[in-house]
Amino acid sequence: MNESARVAVVGAGAVGLTTAFDLAERGARVTLFERDAPGGGSTGRAAGICYDAYAEDIDVAVAESAMARFRSLSGEGEFAFHETPYVFLAREGDDAAAAALEESVERMRVHDRAVSLVDAGELADRFPIRTDDVLLAGVAENAGWADPAAYVDLFVEKCEAAGVEFRVGDAVTLRTDPPGVAIDDVVTARFDAVVVAAGVHSRRLLADAGHPIALKPYRAQALVADCDYRGPTVYDATDESYLRPHPAGVLAGDGVEPVEPDPDDWDPTADDWFVADALDAVRHRTAGGDAGALDSAGSTDPGPGPELDRAWAGLCGATPDRNPLVGPVAEGVYVAAGWHGHGFMWAPAIGERLAEAVLGDGQEAIPAAFDPRRFDGDEEFAVVEGMTLDGD
C-alpha cells in the first residue's frame, strides 16, 4: 500500500493510539475514531505492569522491543517508565506451581532473559517483602511499570503532532466496500485500510461487518491502597494475585471472573469480595521483610493498613490459544485485540509492527502465531478461572 494511504484506526486505547502514531510517522493519512475519550476503555483500567519474562520466543521478541520503546519514551512529557524487578513466586505446599515456575524460568533463560530462580532466603536478602511462605521464586530484571493514563496523554500529543485527525464521541461501524473500507459514524468516510483496535468491542464491530473473530471478554479487577511499599512487582502464582509499587502505596489486582460479560453491559465497580481478598493479599505480602514484622512463631503481624484508596473493574480479551489476534481479517481490514491482560505492555511493539504490515513492507513483522485467520471466529472456548483457557 502506498505510504500516503488513508488509514482509519478504530479505538484510542494504548494499541490504537500507538498504531495511529506509527502509521502517521510513516506518512499515512490517519483518522482515529474513538467513541468515548482516549484511554477510556481497558487501557485506563490497566495496572501498567511490564516485563519480558516470557517462555515463548515470539512473546519475548514483542516484549523486548516494547520495553526498549517504553524506556526511550520515558521522560517525554509526564510519561515515566519505572524500573522495577518482577518477582513471581509459588508458596510452600504448592509443588505444582513451583514445578511450572522452574520450567518456565528455564525456558526464559533459553531466550537469554535476565531471570533467576531463588529460594525464600535469597528473596528476603534482596527485597522488603514477606518470604517465609515462599517455596520458590523467579526474579525478572527487565521489568517495570508505567501509568497507562500518562502513556495515553503522551500518545494523544504525539498523534496530534504527527497530523492524526481525531474523531471522538461516536461509536462507528465499518463496511468492507472494495476497493476500500467505509467507516460510518455521523457521516461515511472511505479509507484504503482500517485497523480495528477497539478492545473487547472488536468482536462485535467486525462480526457486524461480516468478519467474525475468536475473541471473548472477561472481567478483571484492581485497587490502589495507601501503605508504605517500595518493593518489587510481585505475582503470587498460588494465590493468583499481583501487586506493584504505586505513588499512593500499592496497586494490587486480579479478581478475574470465569464468566463472559456483555462488553456493552458489565459492572465497572469492584466487587466487595475482590477488595477484601486483595487487601488481604497486600497485607500478607507487605508484612515482614525489612520491617521485621514476623513474630517468633513465624506468623505475620499485619500492623496498620493498607487502607483502600480506590478499586475498579475492567475488561480483558481472551482467545482460544491465548495468543492475540493481530493482522488482516480481510482485504484492507486489520484487527489488534485479545491480549490476555498484556495489551498495555505490548502496545509499543504492536503499533510499530502493525504500521509496517498495513503499509505493506513488513507483513513478517507480525508473528504468524498472531494471525487472526488461524480461527474461523465461531470457535467454542471457555474463559476459565485465572487467565488460563480451557478449549472445550
Q: How would DSSP label each residue in 324-364?
A: -EEEEEETTEEEEE--TT-HHHHHHHHHHHHHHHHTTS-GG
CB of 185 to ligand FAD, least distance (A): 7
Q: Identify the H or E element spanning 221.
A: strand 216-226
Distance CA 363, CA 190 (A): 23
CB of 315 to ligand FAD, least distance (A): 6
Residues β-bridged to residue 313: 221
CB of 52 to ligand FAD, least distance (A): 12
Toward ligand FAD, which CB reaches closer, 341 or 372? Answer: 341
Given a contact cutoff of 8 angstroms between Cβ atoms, the answer to whether 193 and 1 are in contact is yes
Toward ligand FAD, which CB reaches closer, 120 or 181? Answer: 181
Toward ligand FAD, which CB reaches closer, 84 or 300? Answer: 84
Distance CA 274, CA 260 (A): 17
- Other C-beta atoms closer than 10 Å to the C-beta of 292 total 10
Burial zone of 42 (CB within 10 Å; 0-12 exposed, 13-18 middle, 19+ buried) = buried
Distance CA 1, CA 332 (A): 9
- Other C-beta atoms closer than 10 Å to the C-beta of 326 total 27
Burial zone of 325 (CB within 10 Å; 0-12 exposed, 13-18 middle, 19+ buried) = buried
CB of 171 to ligand FAD, least distance (A): 4
Distance CA 152, CA 284 (A): 33
Toward ligand FAD, which CB reaches closer, 48 or 231? Answer: 48
Toward ligand FAD, which CB reaches closer, 253 or 328? Answer: 253
CB of 265 to ligand FAD, least distance (A): 14
CB of 334 to ligand FAD, least distance (A): 13
- Among 321, 334, 296, 38, which residue's Cα sits nearest to residue 157? 38
Toward ligand FAD, which CB reaches closer, 57 or 264? Answer: 264
CB of 272 to ligand FAD, least distance (A): 16
Q: How would DSSP label each residue in 269-317?
A: SPPHHHHHHHHHHHHHHHSSGGG--B-TTS-B---S-PEEEEEEEEEEE
CB of 304 to ligand FAD, least distance (A): 26
- Other C-beta atoms closer than 10 Å to the C-beta of 140 total 22
Given a contact cutoff of 8 angstroms between Cβ atoms, the answer to whether 224 and 309 are in contact is yes
Toward ligand FAD, which CB reaches closer, 118 or 195? Answer: 195
CB of 303 to ligand FAD, least distance (A): 27
Residues near ligand FAD, by CB under 6 A: 10-16, 33-36, 40-43, 45-49, 171-172, 197-199, 201, 205, 220-222, 253, 314, 316, 337, 339, 341-345
Distance CA 82, CA 152 (A): 16
Toward ligand FAD, which CB reaches closer, 90 or 222? Answer: 222
Toward ligand FAD, which CB reaches closer, 133 or 147? Answer: 147
